[in-house]
Structure 1
């Protein structure tokens, strides 16, 4: 590679990006009377700069040969492309109305002039390969971009690249950006996802998979009706005679309602000549309004107990100065249904730590205040854990009585004082013993055994494509390994950088095969969500350059596997060797498999296991299915060196 040429190109690219920053500063400090006359000229300059930047970046990508260099170039492109789109859109919006290239046609003939009214910007939707979101993405992109004659094809391609994520992005990432290739890329997406038969099956499956209401409140009821109606309308749009399914739809929706709501509906239905699906939907809309009115009358702007679905007993007289501290005591406890908050419930206190954690997960409560309707990241409570001062409730803090030792026999924690070689010094991890050793100056060694991969067979480990939330609340897709034998959760440094997560200092050493040590000095906290349903959890991750090797070690043919067409795989590309960005360890592992349903394809193939992310593939497969030589199966071990800074991370 010509280093001098590369340096020249990088310098030119930096100059263009600096010019982009000046354009952003112009928009931020825009004054319509002073600056509007410059907008058209700046747009022309931006277009020339865009073309130059694209050419320079393309040359750099062509001459780069290393994987690390290509990854850095991809990160640079991911940084400046959205800024270019946003800057150009902002400049177009600031054009004088008589000279603007983008106009909004009037919706009706009216003598009232719309001159000077700035309509809100329409944001392009993102599509990550979820068939349930395809029609909305297809119709919006078709109307705003694809059918717009004023947008050049190469620019349409850039918009398309920016709008598709995850699995959908992979289907067009090998197509080079050019005007001629745009139609090819669009047709590739349409041919893959615009499958009417499969869309019908996916939306019908989603209709049957909508969870039942656990509590009756206006938000939950509104969500249930809206989601049910959305799938019914899409099925009708796809040509299904849903207007003839009234009895079936009425039954499917009815069995998902709360018992109290069903009783009121059945009483109302007895007064109707023909109680059908449309009658039920209209009844539920009225029911939502009634519940919202009750909440407004009882609580004013407060929605605490309404969001939990439990009626609050309003005293006839109360002291306004103490109302804020006593009103919540009238909520019915979720554990015993008595009039006290969960944190004062003796039944909840008597549960073991794992049982309390599982109860909080199943009820979707905040881990910090143990209340519903929000997650710990959005919790407004000023209180933290009294033992470690982290954002979880003290009742959820692991301690010596609840035990840090895992119930999984493949995971164990031991402390070995570095100053004594005696085997008798090995002790089970406990909060008090740990503190004693730290005070004495002995740095403990915490060892966590990880899953052992089979050495004689080709074994699929549990992988899933999950949704992970960045620092701005945006959704990203990431490939995760579900590992019940790993205590810590791990995240790659690349993904942590893309998510722009706040990094915390820590002191951990990961030991691999042959006792090779890898120090880790940073950790992050973020939220993991399922692409399939409503599952989510907040987890801590240790940041590593590479969390593990690509899985599987090489591509494996699935010809003849006959996976049912209605099975939603957690990792649609499970058989293709691809990088792993996350390892989700034992702390959350059990919550991923609420049903534990399994499906055996045949005796020579792995199992399918139902999870909150979809069906995961796990187990051995005959080596003849591998594309090439038999897969090499590494065995490795993860261990950590604990320091005072790490204690709070382990106990979270």
Structure 2
């Protein structure tokens, strides 16, 4: 016991000595601060550092006095008082320097300003900025909050802390704060979390490299391309990464490679000599081309719309709501239904008025719509869901018709959109739902934690990227997301594997890759594995972010996933083929009831089990079981789909309803 006390006292006194040395250096910097050569923001950062040092000093002082006896306090009291006086002097000097940079205005000027303000009409109140937790929105939020709250004189730190907590209350950033935070500590934590310039730059560059190619002339597709490129370039320019001569030619080549043949040819014809084109010229051409195509498309729509004489009663009749379908060339009058034909019973009414269709359950209606190849949002046979501009579900706001809404209380798996609803007729449907994962919403007082780790994926050329790994003994296969495959440009190999989960959902996977995974904590740990490729492996793990007490973990325990308690994306799933080789056998419980365990793996220590959560919340439980299903009927359908000629429109865009009903619902890549 005496040895532990001695170690603690030594640790605390060293911390106080370190704060004292930092304070001395900071005092010299503030005294020598030259406002003409240095920026005010640098002095503001030092002010935050002083407040952080004060908080750390007071915490350490309290811990020190908690382990020593009362008669030993005098031995440390003098040093602690010197440190506190030093920090007070620095804080006072920083405030003085800031006042010298922005001196208070004379009373006469204040009167002038006040009178000038009264001369103008009262403007609307500026709302408090809110931060959603999206890293892309951080810089805008920071600049606005600095201008309205942080740099405003007369506001105490407690008031600024109140405004800051209110600004992040509705976003993911609220999980960063703690009850003991001061304004300075919380602001610094937010900056440390979201001011990651490298991550933002990589995100915008990746967005440029993954621009969607345009297959044919389309004003809307070209407008989308222009907006995505402009957004990324503006964001990079705000981070002082502007288009230089070399990168300019890269951008021109990249964007031109995504254009349709007609647009690309027209741009090449405008280049009259061998000189290199400029980005400004290409951008102006794309804007002009887009306006031209949009104008032509609008004229074509106006000409195709039926025109005819209408009676006054027809003109006064209300228009068909956007939430209901426009079936086959309907007139603009609601009273004239001679050309309307129901897709189900063939009667002269809209599908949403069909008694036979309304008698079905919501899930059966969804299956019927998919069987007919109609849009799940407006029941039209003229387009698919991705092209629909009608309003969404009136109940949940999801991209489906209100008649297809599935209540969350129904004892079925969550099906949020068109691509996630397998029907009985789809023995081999391809969807964006979680393969081999069955989720259900049930009241629970437990938060379930699955084993996750962070590793490095490498390709054959040594290129690598960090990824988050789920260790799942319930899967027979290793799985990798298509996002990682595309980023590393891993070579794909044709596969024919049908996987099924506990809910019976089946999917055909047609691509696999080979890659190497390396541990971030143990460089000698390297696995060369084969993966099935899927678009999305599972939902974010854990389902909800929760707090973790760092004191639960003994010293020397290096977590394989330091942010295991934060709900984040899964990039790789390691199944039973590799699962048993990862664990070393060492483990210890993190909870008194032995429901939450920490186990050692070759990637580091992983955490799994159950922990307490608020009982009034609804949890989502995930069961990851993936098995092979080699059914003869499925293989027959697979080869039938492979036999379609390449010249045929295999994607099925703008096909008639009857053709949509007969086409196999499979994709080449999940």
The TM-score normalised by the length of structure 1 is: 0.41
| Greater gyration radius | 2
